[in-house]
Amino acid sequence: MFNIHSTEILLILVIALVVIGPERLPAAVKTASLWVGRFRRSFYKVKAEIERELNTDEIRRQLHNESVMAQIDDAKTRVETIAQETETSVNKLVSTENFDPGASKATEENTLGEEQIAKENTTESIDQGREAAKTIYTPTKNPKLNQTTPPIEIEKDNGVS
């Protein structure tokens, strides 16, 4: 707190001993320490009252909640865009001229390349959705929230039916 060395404290005590006298020095030290203790207690009381008046705890909680809601909104928009991209890729696959649910094996062999591309696109979309789901809420400040919410698991679909 103060930049006072032990030799300086010793010098102050010697001067106090000479000025106050050996009989009254212990009482003076005790009185000074009581005043310092009272000052510290009153300072901490005033500090606590000011913090209570300013509602700093509520402001901190509100800022934390706002950051969590921003993370959730961001993840929600990412999941929605991935879902939209997946829907458009499936619609493209279904609306192609070669798509026929009751087609023969010869027709299926011709469209095998297009289906492979569609499967890759779908797999990429699923992976992107999984990554977005993992980042829905990444707790950075409140570990209790991390313990109460179970992790989100998405089953991986290996094939398109």
pLDDT band per the 50, 70, 90 thresholds, residue 30: very high
Last residue of a domain, one of 54, 73, 88: 54
The answer to whether residue 1 sits within a structural domain is no
DSSP, res 143? H
CA distance 141 to 42: 32
For the chain, the domain total comes to 2
pLDDT of 31 above 80: yes
| 79 & 41 share domain | no
| 26 & 95 share domain | no
What is the rounded average pLDDT for all residues in the chain? 76
| 98 & 35 share domain | no
- Region for residue 55 given its phi and psi (left: phi exceeds 0; alpha: psi -120 to 50; beta: otherwise): left
Q: pLDDT at position 33, please? A: 92
3-state secondary structure of 104: coil
| 12 & 74 share domain | no
Per residue in 35-90, pLDDT (tens digit) is: 999 999 999 999 988 888 877 778 888 888 999 999 999 999 999 999 999 888 88
For residue 15, give Cα distances in angstroms to 7, 10, 11, 68. 12, 9, 6, 60
| 50 & 99 share domain | no
pLDDT of 121 above 90: no
pLDDT of 125 above 80: no
**Mean per-residue pLDDT for 150-154?**
51
